[in-house]
Chain A
Amino acid sequence: GESVGLHLPTLSVQEGDNSIINCAYSNSASDYFIWYKQESGKGPQFIIDIRSNMDKRQGQRVTVLLNKTVKHLSLQIAATQPGDSAVYFCAENPNYGGSQGNLIFGKGTKLSVKP
């Protein structure tokens, strides 16, 4: 079946460094991808999204890169801060040939920022 996965379950970075969180997806027809941040005791919070007609999109301190050739998605966080500590997960819209598919979520990577 279709799946969204992550290369690393945990990531520890020094405050001020850049963080890169990776995600692999399996459906080459997926046309929309989202990154979410989930802090302890809270619901997932939208960070940034990208559609398949793009390969890069930038937000405030965050950049999402999409490599459709290898079906890989990454989230880059610049100058990582303690407040960035959370679980990050990606989601894809599998776009099953135009049928009403829905977002499939990855299991998450826990980012820990060391002061």
Chain B
Amino acid sequence: EAQVTQNPRYLITVTGKKLTVTCSQNMNHEYMSWYRQDPGLGLRQIYYSMNVEVTDKGDVPEGYKVSRKEKRNFPLILESPSPNQTSLYFCASSLGRVWPQHFGDGTRLSIL
């Protein structure tokens, strides 16, 4: 089954404790992206990757890092999480930038 898998689905942690949210897709997609979804603000792009070893900032990249060492994986790293990063995060992948994106089921992060 074609899918985008995120882990963990839920996480409660404390300020400053580094965390990584993993994302994996099995569709051989070149384009991958991370979004955060906040009430009243909709989906906002954090980072995206056009291909292996090619990443770029989206609209709200501050406080986040990503890497794309393999085509299928695109982890999101919060080196020093802060409460304003409490949000619902989605990973997505697609054939290219201007193609329908397939989304994971989300990771709800709470930073205390």
Contact = CB atoms under 8 A, between A and B. Distances in A.
Interface of A: 31-32, 34, 36, 41-46, 49, 89, 91, 93, 100, 102-103, 105-108
A42 B107 CA distance: 10
Given A44-B90, A93-B98, A102 B45 contact: yes
Interface footprint category on B: 20 to 34
A60 to B, nearest CB: 15
B103 A44 contact: yes
Contact of B100 (A42, A43, A49): A49
Contact of B41 (A46, A49, A107): A107
Contacts, number: 50
B56 A44 contact: no
Given A105-B42, A108-B42, 9 more contacts: A32-B98, A42-B105, A43-B105, A44-B92, A46-B100, A89-B43, A102-B97, A105-B35, A105-B44
B76 to A, nearest CB: 15
A46 B101 contact: yes
B42 A106 contact: yes
B105 to A, nearest CB: 5
Interface of B: 4, 33, 35, 40-45, 48, 50, 56, 58, 90, 92, 97-98, 100-106
B48 A44 contact: no
Contacts of B48: 102
Which A-B residue pairs are the 9 nearest by beta carbons?
Answer: A43-B103, A105-B43, A107-B42, A46-B100, A44-B103, A43-B105, A32-B98, A105-B42, A93-B98
Contacts of B56: 100
A28 B72 CA distance: 34
Contact of A43 (B40, B42, B58, B90): B90
Nearest to A5: B42
Given A44-B90, A102-B33, A107-B41, A31 B98 contact: yes
Given A100-B56, A100-B97, A102-B58, A107 B104 contact: no
